[in-house]
Amino acid sequence: MTLEQKIANKEVKIGIIGLGYVGLPLAIEFTNNNFSVTGIDVLQEKVDLINRGKNYIGDVVDGELAHAVQAGFLKATTDFAVIRELDAISICVPTPLRKTKDPDVSYIIAALEEIAKYLHKDMLIVLESTTYPGTTRELMLPKLEESGLKVGQDFYLAFSPERVDPGNPVYKTKNTPKVIGGVTKKCTEIAKLLYEEVVDTVVPVYSSESAEMVKLLENTFRAINIGLVNEVALMCDKLGVDVWEVIDAAATKPFGFMKFYPGPGLGGHCIPIDPFYLSWKMKTLNYNARFIELAGEINTAMPEYVVELLTEGLNQQKKAINGSKLLILGMAYKRDIDDVRESPALDVMKLLEAKGAAVDYHDPYVAEIQWNGGHKKSVSSKDWDLTFYDAAIVITDHKNLDYEIVTRKVPLLIDTRNVTGKFISSYKNIIRLGDKRG
């Protein structure tokens, strides 16, 4: 039976390497459509949880995971030898940046080496981890062809960028269009056949390089526009203009404008990182990606600007940061999720503690964080005494907090997300980012 026939008959055995925010939701979409899935992860804790039907990803429905395991559609393992039994593999491993802002593809290489050991005829391999253009063809293909098998004939290789937006109530894996680009035309066709079984819309592109570039364009677009609006916020501060009012008014134009809001910095697993994959690649071709670098400078500096706003506010009250008791509101990188990866709240906390402040945080989604070799726990809103603090700083605008009550009780509130916009005129203790008039 050919791979195409196995896909059509739902007899294809699928493997997903990396069971995090990308891999596990993808696995569930396949199992929801009665495909057999084996999840592979190096963390025994994740494997054990899945095999017990226990969920640890917010975008996965608990009942769907439990049913997939109980029905025998999903199992997990740390043993890569299972690859020899699989027909199609999706690689969903992390791709962080090193401190030097060059790509760390070590997780991809580790997965690739395991796949190469067990590669067999009529197998499909799809890389979903965000990376620089050329990774699939230049890094993965040579290693796989060491087997003597020929791409496009004996096995199939493609890239399909993940488009996960944690916490998005509307767009999930199934209804988010899936871009796919193969190393050959046949590779694209086979990957498209598989993914269109579980995704509403599949968008084939000419090559794996095109698909890799699609992902980087998407997030570079966001990073640059956020960098632009962050700089506009700095300008508005100096001009005595309310940036939030300016943006909302500009957004009334029905064409030629897309609304972005400023903030305390970039967070998450994509936007702060992905553009630098492209920037790094272009440097190898003797080209300087100027927009990316400039936006990165502005966005990276925003936590320091938040500290400047706090310093100003405390000075007005004849206080110093050194010795102040401060409360950060929101540790996750965006609203109503538990993900702290690259969160600007971490940068703000680090800067404040370096200046001698005593810093607590409150986040209903993040019970504790790893901090300075230990752990720091979230302060509970049930028993907190807000009058204890010299100031509070809103970093992440979780919906389930009454910010007006907080404003009434703290001497100073630094608002980086415009949570006080509706009532700011009633209080004198608010400083909003991009609105020095507050």
Tell me which residues are annotated as active site: 270
User: Measuring CA to CA, how many Å separate 168 from each of 58, 178, 347?
Assistant: 10, 16, 25
Q: CA-to-CA distance for 202 and 176, rounded, in angstroms?
A: 9
| Nearest 10 degrees: Cα torsion 414, 419, 423, 428 | 0
- DSSP for 32-74, please give it: HTT-EEEEE-S-HHHHHHHHTT----TTS-HHHHHHHHHTTSE
Q: CA-to-CA distance for 171 and 162, rounded, in angstroms?
A: 13
Give me the phi and psi of 97, to 5 degrees please: -100, 145
How is residue 426 written in tokens? 């009633």
Is 137:160 a contact under the CB 8 Å cutoff? no
Is 407:420 a contact under the CB 8 Å cutoff? yes
Q: CA-to-CA distance for 129 and 139, rounded, in angstroms?
A: 13
